[in-house]
Structure formats: structure tokens, C-alpha cells
Amino acid sequence: MTKRMLRFVANDREVGTEAWEGSPALDFIRRELGLTGTKEGCREGDCGACAVILGERLENGAVRYRAAPSCLLALGELDGRHLVTIEGLASGAEDGLTPVMLAFLAENASQCGFCSPGFIVSLTAWLLEGERLDEAGALTAVEGNLCRCTGYGSIRRAASRLLAEFPGLPADPLARIDALVAARVVPASLAAFARGKLLADDARVRPAAGETSLVIGGGTDFYVRNTDPEPRDGFFLAGSDPALRRMTRSGDGGLEVGAAVTIRDFFACPELLSLVPGIGRFEASFASILVRNRATLGGNIANASPVADMTSMLIALGARLGIARPGGDGPSREIPLESFFLGYKKLDLGPGEIIRTILIPPPCRPFRFNFEKAAKRASLDIAAVNTAVLLELDGNRVVRGRLSAGGVAATPLLLPKSSAFLAGRAVSAGTARDLAALAASEVETIGDVRGSAGYRRRVLERLVMAHFTTLFRDRVADGIAEDLAVRVSSSEEDRR
């Protein structure tokens, strides 16, 4: 096996290792670095006990710190970056207790304590880089952390304390870091790393991708399925190619998104928000902030889960994939996203090929877009069913529509009949109802632990109606409400 020296800063010291870059960072942190404050609670991104903060100097010279679940983090991701663990945070405070830790103590927010380091890391990251410094922002910050003891009341109160203690933190990342170093929320090593004083000589360029046998985006799917991957050659971290992390306006006014763009960055992109107004509100329905910080668009698509949320949205938006070899050299091709899926987890992707870009076309006329998802838990839960719709409108009439659905077949789908049906229809409760029935008849649902086959069909029907009540509430809500009431009693009659 070819070995590569990874160099990074672990808390306040530089570390070098030749360990395989595909092994999970959590194991390295706990076993090799001996930093056991980072806990393993699930090893699949669901509990946040393993959260760490990862700092990087971006292409444009800015610095950015974000929380990540280290159980789903490739060791290679640490290369050239700054890893901050709970021990690192403690080391910055005089008696080992940072203001976040003290807030936890004051509110008795640590009971068995197993989750506490993870929560503290998440809340510290929130102070470091959170856009919303309010109660809702705090809740978002810890949505990827589970606590089985407290019921979260004391944790919320600890967050409120922090809000009171740190009003008006600077928006500029570097100024924010300095303010938090001064307040001993984070250690001085962050300011040093940000200014290039730690790992200063790290001018190494990553080796160009050679023969690729394994592509990893954020790893949030890969490590769930491979908890202990065997070392192998040809490991390629998509994010190590800066081109794959860019989002640019394409010539036709659409958007070209690099496959390694994270879900978090995608939703934060101003061009996207102006291209598809309102899309930002669907960010919260995707996983947790910990996962969104890592998961990539390309990974969401290539993982080919039937319930992939981003894929469902992108299909409705008419996205196309740019497929090529990892380095971008050699031939490349473009295909509609929906035709990328050939069967359950079967892709139109040749050996050595990867998704390089996702192209979102500009809409031709005024349009509305909506996304719906049904899951057991409102946040951080994989959908039983999801669906997205794009309606190009001429006044009250749909000119062209695209309806996608996930969780109702072996792959994410564009529903062709339903989409065709939309052309020329008026926006009305009747259209919503007919479309919903058509969509439900167009799919062949199967049952699993997230929902029975029957439920999936029924909920798809309801979610399709919800597209209309959400987008055109005034025009359709009454009609749909009436319709629901009638249906319930008629099905009761059937039973008698």
C-alpha cells in the first residue's frame, strides 16, 4: 500500500501520521491520540457523542471552524486542518472549565455525562460560527446530539445562559475567534491556526487523484455501511479537489454545483437562493447540522438511497449530472439526474468515473418549488417518503411540472405520468387531489422499518396535496379540507 503522511494540528500540537487516510477519525482520536473525551455512542452519525470541531483555511484565505461527527470522518480529512476536541477546549480555560462547560454545570445539564462533551463541542462550534445566535440557533446547533438523561430542558437553559453571556459576537470569523479566545471559550490555538501560525509550512498540494477505487464525499453514508473499512489504495476524498467544492453560475444562468459541496454550503449559497427562492427552508429537514456540515450533494446522489432528500429536490428541479474521471481529465458526459439510477443501488457510473458536477438549469418562467418529507421524528430522521415539485406557471395555470418522489420505489423517481398530467392544469384543489391520486397509483411501494407499503402510498398522496396547500394555501386549502372530511367518512362506510 502506498502511504501518505498526514499532518494536522490536534488541539495545540502538530501531529503527523501514516495511518490509512480512510480509517475513521474517531478511532484515531481515541486510540492513537488518547483523547477519550470524544465518545462513541453509535458510530453512525446519530448521537453526536463523537463530535469534534474541525478548522480549515479556505481557498480564499478565510478560516472556518465547524463541528463534525468524528465517527463518519475520514482521517484524511484532518490533513492540513485543525482538530479541536473537548480536551482542547478545556485546555484553553484557566481551571479547565470554559464558559460553555460552566453553563452546563450551572444548569445541571450533565447527568450521566456521556453525551456532555458532544453537546459542549456542538454549542462551542455554534458560538464560533453560528449564523443565528438565538434560542432557535442553539437548538439547531444541538439537533445532532442525543441525550437520554436530561430531556434537554437543562441543556436549553444552559444555551440561554450563553446567549445572555455572549450578546453580539462579531460576524467576521477571525474577529469572532479572537473574541472567543479572549473569553476563553476556545483555546488560543484557534487564533494561531487561523493566522497560519500553526501548520504554517503546510504548502503541500494533495496528490492528484490516480486510479480511484473508492470515492468519499462527506463519508456520512460510507462509514455507516463500513464501520471498520480495510485499508486500500485508490482512496479519493472528493473534497480534496477544490474544483469540486465550488458553486458557480453557469453560462445559461443556471447553477453548476461541485459534487463535493456540502449540504450546509449548498443551502447557504446566495446564487442558489436567488435561483430557487425559498429553497433555504428545506435545509432543516435534512439530517442534523453535524451531518450537513459533512454530507455532500454528490454523495447524496451516488449513494442512491430511495429516500435521498437532496436527490428528490434536484430531480424536481431538473438537475443534470456532469460525470467524468476524478481529476476531470478525459471524456466527460452529462445525463439527467433521474436517469442516473438504473435499479436498487445500481448507477449509470462506469469504473473510474465520478460525479463531478450537478447542473441546475434556470427555469424558463415564473415557478414555484416545494419539498415535503414524512418521517417519524420531525428532525434528524430519514424519510419514509419525500417528494418535491416544480411548477412553472402562467397565472393560475401550470405550464409544465415536475414531480419527484422518494421512498416509494427502489430508486428516487421522477413521476412521469404525474408530471405530464400537470401541464395545462389550473391551480386548484381538484388538481391537487387528482395529482395525488395519480402519483399514488404510479408507484409500487414496499414496506420496511420506516413505514409499511400502505402507509407510504397514503402519505405520498397526502404530501402531494401538501405541495398545493403549502404553495397556494388560499386557493386550495378549503377545498382539500372538505375533501378530507368526505373521504374519511366514506372509508368508514366501506368498512361497515
Ligand X SMILES: Cc1cc2nc3c(=O)[nH]c(=O)nc-3n(C[C@H](O)[C@H](O)[C@H](O)COP(=O)(O)OP(=O)(O)OC[C@H]3O[C@@H](n4cnc5c(N)ncnc54)[C@H](O)[C@@H]3O)c2cc1C
Residues numbered 383-442 forming contacts with ligand X, rule: CB under 6 A: none
Phi/psi for 448 (5° steps) reads -155, -165
Q: Which is nearer to ligand FES, 41 or 326 (CB)?
A: 41
143 binds, among ligand FES, other proteins, ligand X, none (CB under 5 to 8 A by kind): other proteins
**In 137-233, at which residue ranges do the beta strands (DSSP E only) sit?**
214-216
Which of these ranges, 4-12, 54-62, 108-116, 319-327, lies near ligand FES under the rule CB under 6 A? 108-116
Residues in 108-137 at the binding interface with other proteins, rule: CB under 8 A:
108, 110-117, 120
The interface partner of residue 120, options being other proteins, ligand X, ligand FES, none and the CB cut-off 5 to 8 Å by kind, is: other proteins
* From 224, 268, 399, 453, residue interacting with ligand X (rule: CB under 6 A): 224
Alpha-carbon span 313 to 307, nearest angstrom: 11
Q: Give φ, ψ of 273 to 5 degrees.
A: -65, -25
| 251-265 residues labelled b (16+ CB within 10 A) or e (exposed) | eeebbbbbbbbbbbb
275 binds ligand FES (CB under 6 A): no
**Residue 178 CB partners (closer than 8 Å, separation 6+):** 191
Residues in CB range of 472: below 8 A, 6 or more apart: 368, 427
Nearer to ligand X, 177 or 380 (CB): 380
Instruction: Determine contact, residues 245/261, Cβ cutoff 8 Å.
Output: yes
Closest CA to 297 of 308, 289, 306, 287: 308
Binding span for ligand FES by CB under 6 A among 42-50, 296-304, 462-470, 475-483: 42-50
Tell me which DSSP letter residue 328 carries. S
Site map 150..189 versus ligand FES, x via CB under 6 A: x---------------------------------------
Identify what 407 binds: other proteins, ligand FES, ligand X, none; CB under 5 to 8 Å per kind: other proteins
Per CB under 6 A, the list member of 22, 37, 45, 306 interacting with ligand FES is: 45
User: Do 42 and 55 meet the contact criterion of CB atoms below 8 Å apart?
Assistant: no
Binding mask 180-219 for ligand X (x = CB under 6 A): -----------------------------------xxxxx
Contact stretch for ligand X (CB under 6 A) within 268-276, 288-296, 415-423, 429-437? 288-296
For position 50 contacting ligand FES by CB under 6 A, the verdict is yes
Closest CA to 461 of 424, 399, 418: 418
Neighbours of 358 (CB within 10 A): 26
354 makes contact with ligand X (CB under 6 A)? yes
| 450 lies in the site for other proteins, by CB under 8 A | yes
At how many degrees (to 10) do helices 116-129 and 153-165 cross?
30
Cα–Cα distance list, 18 to 22, 44, 71, 82, 215 (Å): 11, 25, 19, 17, 20
The number of CA neighbours under 13 Å toward the Cβ of 490 is: 6
Per CB under 6 A, the list member of 40, 165, 283, 381 interacting with ligand FES is 40
Among 15, 19, 32, 97, contact with other proteins (rule: CB under 8 A): 97
| Cα 409 from Cα 443, distance rounded (Å) | 7
Q: Which of 102, 139, 149, 446 binds ligand FES (CB under 6 A)?
A: 149
Q: Is residue 164 involved in binding other proteins (CB under 8 A)? A: no
Helix (H) or strand (E) holding 395: none
Cα(379)–Cα(140) distance, rounded to whole angstroms? 10
Closer to ligand X by Cβ: residue 161 or 356: 356
Under the criterion CB under 6 A, does residue 380 sit at the interface with ligand FES?
A: no
Contact between 238 and ligand X per CB under 6 A: yes
In the range 323-362, which residues lie near other proteins by CB under 8 A? 344
Of 162 and 244, which CB lies nearer to other proteins in the complex structure? Answer: 162
- Count the Cβ atoms, other than its own, within 10 Å of residue 462: 17
- Per partner kind, with CB cut-offs from 5 to 8 A, the member of ligand FES, other proteins, ligand X, none near residue 337 is none
Using CB under 6 A as the binding rule, whether residue 40 contacts ligand X is answered as: no
In angstroms, rounded to a whole number, what is the distance separating the alpha carbons of residues 272 and 174? 26
Q: Among 29, 142, 238, 257, which residue interacts with other proteins (rule: CB under 8 A)?
A: 142
Stretch that binds ligand FES, among 36-44, 96-104, 312-320, 382-390 (CB under 6 A): 36-44
The yes or no reply on residue 448 touching other proteins (CB under 8 A) is yes
Q: How far apart are CA 200 and CA 195, in angstroms?
A: 9
The residue type found at 153 is G
Distance CA 53, CA 36 (A): 15
Q: Measured from the CB atom, is 43 or 402 closer to ligand FES?
A: 43
Residue 50 contact partner, candidates ligand FES, ligand X, other proteins, none, CB within 5 to 8 A by sort of partner: ligand FES
Measured between alpha carbons, how far is 391 from 243 in angstroms, rounded to an integer? 32
CA distance 258 to 398: 31
Note the residues at the interface with ligand FES (CB under 6 A).
Answer: 40-43, 45-50, 69, 71, 110-115, 147-150
